[in-house]
Amino acid sequence: MKSFSLMLWITIVFLQFAYGQSSTSPIQAQPPSVKVKLTGFDPATDADLTVKFVLVELTPDHQATTTLNPDNNGQLVFTLPFALPYQQIWFSVGEYYYGELIVNKGLDIDIQLPALKVAESKYASRSVDYNGPDGAMTQYVNEYVVFVSKLRDEGNYPDIFELMRDRTMPLEEKVEAMWAINKTQAEFEQQFVAEHPSPHSWILENERISDFYGNLCVVHWGKEMPEELFKEILRHEPKLISNDGSSSYYGYLQNFLIIPTQEEHIGIYEEELMPNIIPEEQERLQNFLVQWRKKLAEESYDQELFKTDSRYFYRQYDALFFTGRVKNFLRKATALPPKKADMVKMLGGDREVWKNEEYQRLVLPTMHNEYLKHIMEERWAETRKQLDFINEQLQAMSVEPTDAPVGKNLGTLPSGATLFEAETDDLDAFLGAIRSTSSGKAMILDIWATWCSPCIHDMKKSADQRKALEEMGVEVVYLCTTSGTNLEGWKNMVTQLGIDTRHIYMTKAVSEEIMKRFNLPGYPSHIFIDSKGKYHPGVVHGLQMLDLEEIKEKM
């Protein structure tokens, strides 16, 4: 990519040779376990007690929750899913205790439940004993959390996030202030270590630096980073799979590399979009890029055209642009030391199923470490399984006219809008009812919220697209979530919008389940189902900028 400076490239290549070979493997011999013993546990009175493990993982979601129930003896074992070193877990026992675990070889937790019920606590507690290979280490980090929490409560521990949120401060000044905060935090850390010497004190420094460098990446997202700073960040080696180590350092570094600068944006449009769009669109794109370059050069440019086409090309060609971003990221990641490149890649992806599949498809062949590659392969298999499950469920639905109705018919407005209040909490029954009344048409399900400005804007501006879809034999059905609204508020908004199609107010259960089933990121979201009942992910991202030709091909 043209904007990826030659000096920065040379720096990374140098680091690959200097540090890549000395990196130790991030793999353990076998996954470690956490054993919990609840002394004083009564299976009769404590039957509803749950023990929760929130494990920090090398995934885009960063964390995964496992909830277990003790056996009749008050014991349980949680075996971590992956054989990785120094994994952080946020651990809780009902409403009685919350703390941090660091698991490398294995951990035993002995809990005095009756005492804990009397005095709920967090982190360091006399009722919770950490033993086993990682016991002393876990106890130490919990004591440090208590130490820092006290400083925060007293107003003595500086808050770096408030500084990072300041959009008025120049970047250089902000970075300088962040260094000052890091220095103060290091001084408090040294004070604690002096008062509590331990062979595990290295964790405190490693975690602080990992988080700090990650935050430096955040304030440089979409911007150029000074070569020396980038070089220093790459030299650091996080030791933990933790919020600070993997999520902050590797996750934010991944974002820094994958979020394009403005020059890289232009390069992606030229390399990925230009060859794959029709000639008329190529001419429009070329004119848009001319205006963008003028803007970067601080020359006079067509501001209205730039604003309109920025939105148009980003939304209209979201799939191509996402692919281009990943390819651009991989070009830069090839020059990182292999271990660091793999760790950075593990944290990438997207919550939208089709984007996650595309990311994994492009990234998987570039992985170096076989174990990390295996983890990503499992993730890709889960993504494909999720897509297959969605399609299987849709195909299995009965679409006979005798199916249950969509819901209670609330009537038809003068505008032609027909309102239904869903009555089922079963997502399969709900979708089956919609399909059974669609006369075998392809459908776009537009999932929205009454408080969602982008949703309402798209609904207002997409009349021409809805008419074209109707002529093609595609029905648009608007599904409103219960989140943040009520039935009367929804009816008022539908009346105000006056859109002559089906509108359905979903139940709370269906509102939540449809987002989970189709892995939808938020509002608005869209589901395209062809006339045979097959789900096509990633086809619709809004009606206003809809690609009608693609819809026609997939009907």
Residues 107-140 have pLDDT tens digits of: 999 999 999 999 888 999 999 999 999 999 999 9
106: left (phi over 0), alpha (psi -120 to 50) or beta: left
Q: Which residues pair with 500 in a beta bridge?
A: none
Residue 93 lies in a domain: yes
> Would you call 48 exposed, middle or buried from its count of C-beta atoms within 10 A (0-12, 13-18, 19+)?
exposed
Greater pLDDT, 415 or 89 = 89
pLDDT score at 352: 58
Higher-confidence position of 385 and 183 = 183
pLDDT value at 5 more than 70: no
Separation of alpha carbons 215 and 221, rounded Å: 10
Contact 489, 452 (CB under 8 A): no
Task: Examine residue 59 and state whether it is found in any structural domain, yes or no.
Answer: yes
pLDDT digits (tens, 9 = 90+) for 215-239: 999 999 989 999 999 999 999 999 9
Residue-wise DSSP of 467-501: HHHHHHTEEEEEEE-STT--HHHHHHHHHHH---S
> Where residue 214 falls among pLDDT bands split at 50, 70, 90?
very high
Contact 367, 342 (CB under 8 A): yes
DSSP-assigned letters across all residues of 96-122:
TEEEEEEESS-EEEEEEHHHHHHS-EE
- Residue 249 forms part of a structural domain: no
CB 78 within 8 Å of CB 36: yes
Cα within 13 Å of Cα(204), Cβ side = 27
Q: Where is 179: in which H helix or E strand?
A: helix 171-195
Any bridge partners for residue 122, and if so which? Answer: 98
Tokens 């070089």 locate to 231
What are the pLDDT digits (tens) for 60-104?
A: 878 889 999 999 999 999 999 988 999 999 999 999 999 999 999
- Percentage above 90 pLDDT, the chain: 55
Q: Which helix (H) or strand (E) holds 230?
A: helix 227-235
Give whole-number Cα distances, 544 to 273, 288, 448, 462, 464, in Å. Answer: 20, 19, 14, 5, 8
pLDDT value, residue 62: 85
Beta bridge partners of 478: 446, 503
Q: Could you tell me which residues are beta bridge partners of residue 100? A: 90
Share of the chain above pLDDT 70, in %: 91
Residue 511 lies in a domain: yes
- Condensed to tens digits (0 to 9), the pLDDT of residues 37-66 reads 999 999 999 999 999 999 999 888 788 899
When pLDDT is averaged across residues 426-437 and rounded to a whole number, the result is 88
Residue 102 lies in a domain: yes
Which ranges of 297-363 does DSSP label H, i.e. alpha helix? Answer: 303-316, 318-333, 338-346, 353-363
Return the SS3 of 65.
Answer: strand
Q: Which of 152, 174, 192 is the last residue of a domain?
A: 152
CB 464: neighbour CB atoms within 10 A? 11
Lookup: tokens for 234: 């790459």
**Are residues 468 and 548 in contact, defined by beta-carbon separation less than 8 angstroms?**
yes
Q: What is the CATH number of the domain that holds 56?
A: 2.60.40
Which residue bears the tokens 């993730």?
379
Question: Where residue 463 sits, what CATH number does that domain have?
Answer: 3.40.30.10
pLDDT at 382 over 70: yes
Instruction: Kindly tell me if the per-residue pLDDT of 152 is higher than 60.
Output: yes
Which letter does DSSP use for residue 420 in this model? E
SS3 content of the chain, % helix, strand, coil (to 5): 50, 15, 35
pLDDT at residue 549 tops 70: yes
At residue 389, the pLDDT reads 66
Residues 457-472 have pLDDT tens digits of: 888 888 999 999 999 9
Which structure tokens are listed for 309? 């086409």
Residue where a domain terminates, one of 131, 152, 173? 152
Q: Based on the structure, what is the number of domains in the chain?
A: 2
Which residues contact residue 264 at a Cβ distance below 8 angstroms, ignoring those fewer than 6 apart? 1, 3, 4, 328
Q: Is residue 291 domain-resident?
A: no
User: Cα angle vertex 81, ends 78, 83, to 5°?
Assistant: 110
pLDDT of amino acid 353: 63
Token pair belonging to 21: 């070979």
- Rounded distance between C-alpha atoms, residue 91 and residue 38, angstroms: 14
Q: Is residue 502 part of a domain?
A: yes
Asked if the bond preceding 537 is cis, omega within 30° of 0, the reply is no
Q: Which of 126, 152, 178 is the last residue of a domain?
A: 152
Coil, strand or helix at 438: coil
Q: How far is CA 83 from the centre of its chain?
A: 23
- For 4, the enclosing helix (H) or strand (E) is none
Residue 260's Cβ-count burial label (10 Å; 0-12, 13-18, 19+) is: buried
Does pLDDT of 4 surpass 60?
no
Are the CB atoms for 211 and 250 separated by under 8 Å?
A: no
Per the structure, the complete domain to which residue 504 belongs is given by 407-554
Compare 439 and 362 and report the one with higher pLDDT.
Answer: 362
**Hey, what are 64's tokens?**
């995964």
Spatial distance between the Cα atoms of 454 and 548, rounded to a whole number of angstroms:
20
As a whole number, the mean pLDDT across the chain is 87
In a domain, 259, yes or no: no
388-407 average pLDDT score: 55
Is the pLDDT score of 395 beyond 60?
no
What do you get for the CA distance between the two ends of the chain, in Å?
37
Q: How confident is the model at residue 209 (pLDDT cuts 50, 70, 90)?
A: very high
Residue 538: half-sphere exposure toward Cβ, Cα within 13 Å: 17
Instruction: Place 25 in a pLDDT band, splitting at 50, 70 and 90.
Output: very low
Task: Specify burial of residue 331 (Cβ count, 10 A radius: 0-12, 13-18, 19+).
Answer: middle
Q: Which of 23-32, 38-47, 349-358, 400-409 has the highest mean pLDDT?
A: 38-47
What is the pLDDT confidence band of residue 367, given thresholds at 50, 70 and 90? Answer: very high
Give residue-wise pLDDT tens across range 304-329: 999 989 878 876 787 889 999 999 99
Residues 241, 465: Cα–Cα separation, whole Å = 47
Q: What is the pTM of this model?
A: 0.68
For 410, the enclosing helix (H) or strand (E) is: strand 407-412
Cis upstream peptide for 524 (omega within 30°): yes
